[in-house]
Structure 1
Amino acid sequence: MIKSLRLLILFIIGISCSNPVKKENITEESVKKEIEKIQSLRDSVNPTMIINSLKKVKQHAKTIKYDWGIVNCNLILMNNFLITGNDKESIAIAKENEVLIKNLKNNFFACRHYRLQGSAYLNLGMDDQGLNDLKKALEYNKKISVTNDKYFELAMLYDVLALHETIRGDLSGPNLKIYYQKELWAIQNIDNSKEMEGKKSRMLSFLYFSLGILSNKQKKTKEAENYFHKSLDICKKFNITRDTPVIVNNEMAWLLFDQKKYDSCIAYAQKGMILERNDSKADIRRDLYEVLYKSYSEKGDLQNSSRYTKLYMKLNDSILEAQQIAINEPVKNIIQEKEKDHQKNMTTILVITGISIFILAILTFFLWRRSQKIFHSRYENIISQLKNAENNRTRSSVSENADISKVSVSDKSSNIHDHTLNIILQKLNRFEKSEKFLKKDNSLTFLANSLETNPRYLSEIIKQYKQKNYNNYINGLRIQHIIQLLYKEPIYREYKITYLAEYCGFASREVFAIAFKKETGVTPSYFIEQLRND
């Protein structure tokens, strides 16, 4: 009921913003009130809805040439574009804002403008430009006279800088802790007035969540748990139900799972599920499904484990598909723009396109037939190799061990001593049979440490004796392993490609498919389909 009422209010605001008949009623005061109403709904309404409503209010401000209103709308738009991941849109708005910011000479607006623009640049990986904007924001912050505005923006600035350190992966360095401490100090300087209470509590709850994440990364489990509890206590006290409490419950569930406290883990995950229903965060829901199916599995509750496994796999596939669509969306937009520009020549374009499609279809058909023949030949070669390997496994194993023991400097050009070389090759042989290569964290350094050697030696040996670089070597082992499973165990042919990729230790379905084709010459889907047909 409350949600419906809020949506109704937003709808009324949208109608009032878009009525062209009442232009004469638009005043600076009415624009201010419209902005205030939209801001009051920021914790209960989807950011996309806020963006759409703000665009209409911004148009009102432009109609009466109200620069303050235009800048304010732009700043809120920039923030919501950042929330929704549209960093380029945020920068586009910032460029429009640049001249107005200079004309208004408002330190608070300038500080917020450069903070938001800097955040967008950092998100896009443009660190130099982003950090330069954040420095400008800090300079303008020193000139802000209103205490609450000053410390609120300062806290947000330190939060952005802390996030940047986190993304860089510098969790053990001093900067991250310093930024969090400065952010906490800035928040504590904001007064507890009714106007600021909501903002302050939200910032404080999220800061404690960030500190909990940092402590957990540093293996300070108890400290992390205390920070998460502080964050949740603030959310409960100030009735914060969106964003922070959802992700805190998720992180708390994983923290307890790592401690093997499965009942408590499930309790927090279920709380997160309830909160997520009103927050709609697919990535978080996927994490919650994962921790639930793993916890139930550890408890031996196969029914619930199976239930959440299916939910996890279905949602994971949907997210990957949505990401692929998002990647393709800009291409679609470009095509649509081109179609608009060439409407007058549509007949000619259609004829040319038709002919091109016909020719392309013929070429595609012949290429497809050729590729199918090539694919089938490669497939038969793989099956033949698998059969030969199965028939000669014992003999191959003995031969392989014999070959390894006979390696000498004269066989390959190497600066590594014969004895060391033989030991490392024998360890590599055992590693290849151990299936440890399926782990995701198989870096060169990690494997070198496991084999009690150094990365340089290991890299050189793999390159000379396996004829591959390290990444291709590991990927090759993974692909050969999954090929064996698909060949011997028909049940694996029923799994989704996404699951097979994760099982083999690959970061994504796409990376797995590329590695599979590079190793075998065929796609995983083609290989599985042929196995099913056989």
Structure 2
Amino acid sequence: MIKSFSLISLLLSIFTFYQFPAQTSNLKNEEKLIMGQYDKIEYNDVGRITNMDDIRKVVDQSKKINFKPGEIRGLVLLQRNALRRGNYTLSEKYGDEAESLAYAENDNYSLSLIQLNRACVAIELGLYPEAKTILEKKEYGEKIGNKANRNIYFSNSYMLLAGIYSRTGAKDSMLYYTRKSLDAIEATPLAGLTDYQKVRYYYLEIFQLMNMGIAYAFHPEKPRVDLAESYFRKALAYSVTHPQYFKLCDIEVYESVSAFYYKKKEYEKSIEFSKKVLELERIKKKPEERLAAYEGIKDAYNALGNSTQELKYLKLYTGLNDSIKNAQKVTVINQSRKKIKTFRDAYNENRLIIALTALGIILLIIAIAWKYNRKKEYEYRKKYDELIHGLNREKNQPDEVDGNKDQGISNISSETEKKLLKKLAAFENSDKFLKKGINIAYLSHFLNTNPKYLSEIIREHKSRNFNTYINSLRINYIVHQLYNNPKYREYKISYLAEECGYASPQVFVIAFKKEKGVTPSYFINQLNGSTVNIGLGT
């Protein structure tokens, strides 16, 4: 329902407003025009990816008049935008160019921004020690003359460190650096701030208040709901006092507050803030945020027991989820079409030969496919009949006793083994195995044992490794839901995947077919088309 803390921090950290250190009044007219173009680019840059050609044009103008500060500023912007696009090699290239010029100009502010961008690249690549080394040096940050710029730099740097500790699971260190980041920005003197510094100040202030709320609310060991709510309220207050700055991160704040109230079980408030996200999304056009809002509202109505509204938002969620995935498929298809067109044009003179060859290949493929589908249909039908027979047998016979129960495991005492089997049986009869991301460390902690013992028990008594064991529980759960509850057969595959704990429909389909020998779609279609026969055990 809510983005991870580290991702939110990273998104913010790569938005680095550039405060040109020289006084604008001292610039020549042509230089002022260049800096004015950068101002416009950066002002419209919040939360979006800038057209890099627009930046390159201004860099070229700077080079023509030998305006080094303008050239440096443009290269830093190019470094950041390449980073946003995930082109880390290009980002490093621009960073190196900017660094060489900034050294010569003794421009410590630009050098500090270059280092922040490099730290972001290291974080994205999972190079956390390298990122920490860059951020902890502070060699350029401490030399920034302007206090506001210096505080903004350190607030950003501490926030990146908080993001690293969030990703590595060190929640106390995450909270410590989030607090330092907020302290740094709040120590910024407000008098005399430029327009850019004001935007940066308020953006960081609001975002870090939100991050403090997230850190306290979702701390895994010692959550502080009271402190979390106070920070969220402070962030929300800016929607009234400074709406022009709050709008830069309004969706993220409302989304976080909605998640907080859901955790607090104040479901009506959770719905209220998710609906605010939907209102803003109509303007900002962020379908992923709309999807998250639909999911939040659906879950809140479920908790309230309002099945009518839950179903409404479930349909909206599954529809949008499928639409997003289809859009991604269309992009791939369009790319393929472009390749096909290039191929066709290149061989235009021999199109008849190509067409006949293609036709022959198509006919061959159709013949092979027909034969394959007939064979697959036979195999699917056989697997389906076996599956239905097993489900019918379960109705009429008690659960089979595990044939390995008395076998014993050499390095585990008989008493410990029996206790673990009893706990495992209770786990299987609960819905804990539906939890997303469940792993053997979590389950061993839940059963108060160690991963090694648990792994051996599962292998010996379930004849599976941990992953296949969890998959079998999840797939059996959804099979029984589909078999016993016709309502489930109306749901989309994406919803069924989420229902039983899978991160994606594709993984669910693969697991289902591996476990049962048929795809979930085939199983559902057969259930819907043979309701009478199912009762007869066919």
TM-score interval (norm. to shorter): 0.7 to 0.9
Correspondent of 2:321 among 303, 316, 319: 316
Is 1:177 the counterpart of 2:175? The answer is: yes
Output the CA distance in 2 between the equivalents of 1:84 and 1:241: 25
Alignment of 1:24-39 (within 5 A): 27-39=30-42
Cα distance in 2 between the residues matched to 1:366 and 1:452: 57
1:229 CA displacement: 0.9
1:276 alignment counterpart: 281
| Closer, same or farther: CA 317–103 of 1 in aligned 2, 3 Å | farther
Counterpart for residue 288 of structure 1: 293
Q: 1:109 to 1:88 in 2, by over 3 A?
A: same
For residue 32 of structure 1, what is the amino acid of its counterpart?
M
Q: Aligned partner of 1:185: which letter?
A: D
CA distance in structure 2 between the partners assigned to 1:167 and 1:141 by the alignment: 24
Alpha-carbon displacement from aligned partner over 1:123-171 (angstroms, at most 9, x marks no partner)? 23233443444356x2121222232222221221111111121122221
Q: C-alpha displacement at 1:451, in angstroms?
A: 4.1
TM-score, with length taken from structure 2 = 0.80
| 1:338-417 equivalences in 2 (<5 Å) | 346-347=347-348, 361=362, 364-393=365-394, 396-397=397-398, 400-401=400-401, 403=403, 407-409=406-408, 414-417=410-413
Native 8 Å contact 1:386 1:484 kept in 2? no
* Matched residue SS, 1:191: coil
CA-to-aligned-CA distance 1:237-258 (integer Å, 9 cap, x gap): 2222434222222221222222
Q: Name the CA distance, whole Å, in 2 between partners of 1:114 and 1:325.
A: 38
Structure 2 unaligned segments of length 5 or more: list them: 1-27, 531-538
CA-to-partner distance for each residue in 1:83-121, whole Å, 9 max, x for gaps?
566666644543554544444442111110121122123
CA RMSD of aligned residues (A): 3.6
Contact map agreement 2:291 2:321 (CA 8 A) in 1: yes
Partner of 2:149: 149
Matching residue of 2:237:
233
Counterpart for residue 202 of structure 1: 203
Which structure would you say has the larger RCO, counting Cα contacts within 8 Å and 6 or more residues apart? 2
Return the offset for 1:335.
8.2
Identity of aligned residues (%): 29
Alignment of 1:296-315 (within 5 A): 296-315=301-320
* Partner SS for 1:522: coil
Q: Distance in 2 between matches of 1:204 and 1:90?
A: 28
1:422 is displaced (CA, Å) by 4.0
TM score, norm. by length of structure 1: 0.80
- Given the alignment of the two structures, is residue 223 of structure 1 paired with residue 224 of structure 2, yes or no? no
Cα separation, partners in 2 of 1:103 and 1:160, compared to 1, 3 Å: same
Contact conserved, 2:49 with 2:84, CA < 8 A, in 1?
A: no
Aligned mates of 1:378, 1:189 — CA distance in 2: 70
Match of 1:164 in 2: 164
State the Cα distance separating 1:183 from its structure 2 match. 1.8
Greater shift after overlay, 212-221 or 363-372?
Answer: 363-372
Q: 2:474 aligns with which of 478, 485, 489?
A: 478
For 2:411 and 2:354, the matched residues in 1 are separated by 61
Do the aligned partners of residues 485 and 185 (structure 1) sit closer, same or farther apart at CA in structure 2, a change above 3 Å counting?
closer
Describe the shift of the 1:207–1:134 C-alpha distance in structure 2 as closer, same or farther (beyond 3 A).
Answer: same
For structure 1, the 5+ residue unaligned runs are 1-24
Q: CA distance change for structure 1 residues 394 and 279 in 2, over 3 Å: closer, same or farther?
A: closer
1:257 to 253, 262, 267: 262
Cα offsets for 1:241-278 (capped at 9, x unmatched): 43422222222122222222233323333333333333
Alpha-carbon distance in structure 1 between the residues aligned to 2:299 and 2:185: 38
Q: Aligned equivalents of 2:352 and 2:158: distance in 1?
A: 58
Counterpart Cα distance in 2 of 1:91 and 1:354: 47
d(CA) in 2 for partners of 1:122 and 1:479? Answer: 36
Distance 1:325 1:120 in 2: 30
Mapped to 2, the partners of 1:66 and 1:357 lie a distance apart of 59
1:488 CA drift (Å): 4.2
